A and B are shown apart, each in its own frame.
Chain A
Amino acid sequence: MVDVKILDTPLDTDLCLRQAYDQQCGGVVSFVGTVRNETQGRKVRRLEFECYLPMAQKEMRKIADEAIAKCGAAHVVMHHRIGTIYPGEAAVVIVVSSPHRTAAFEACQYAIDQLKITVPIWKKEFFEDGEHWVSAHP
Chain B
Amino acid sequence: MKINVLAFGIAKEIVGRPKEVLDVSDGITAGELKVLLEEKYPDLLKLRSYFLAVNEEYATEEQSIKADDEIALIPPVSGG
**A121 & B74 in contact (Cβ 8 Å cutoff):** no
Cα separation A123 to B47 with both chains bound (whole Å) = 15
Q: With an 8 A cutoff between CB atoms, is A10 at the interface?
A: no
Does B48 lie within 8 Å of A122, measured CB to CB? no
Taking the complex as formed, is B53 at the interface, i.e. its CB lies under 8 A from any CB of chain A?
yes
- Enumerate chain B residues within 8 angstroms of A119, measured Cβ to Cβ: 77, 79
Complex Cα spacing A49 to B1, Å:
33
Q: Is the CB of A80 within 8 A of B78?
A: no
Cβ B78 vs Cβ A123 within 8 A: yes
**A138 to B13 CA separation, bound complex (whole angstroms):** 17
Query: Which of A15-23, A50-58, A66-74, A100-108 lies at the interface with chain B?
Result: A50-58
14 interchain pairs (CB within 8 A)? A51-B8, A52-B8, A52-B72, A54-B56, A91-B79, A116-B78, A120-B72, A121-B78, A121-B80, A122-B10, A122-B77, A133-B9, A136-B76, A137-B46
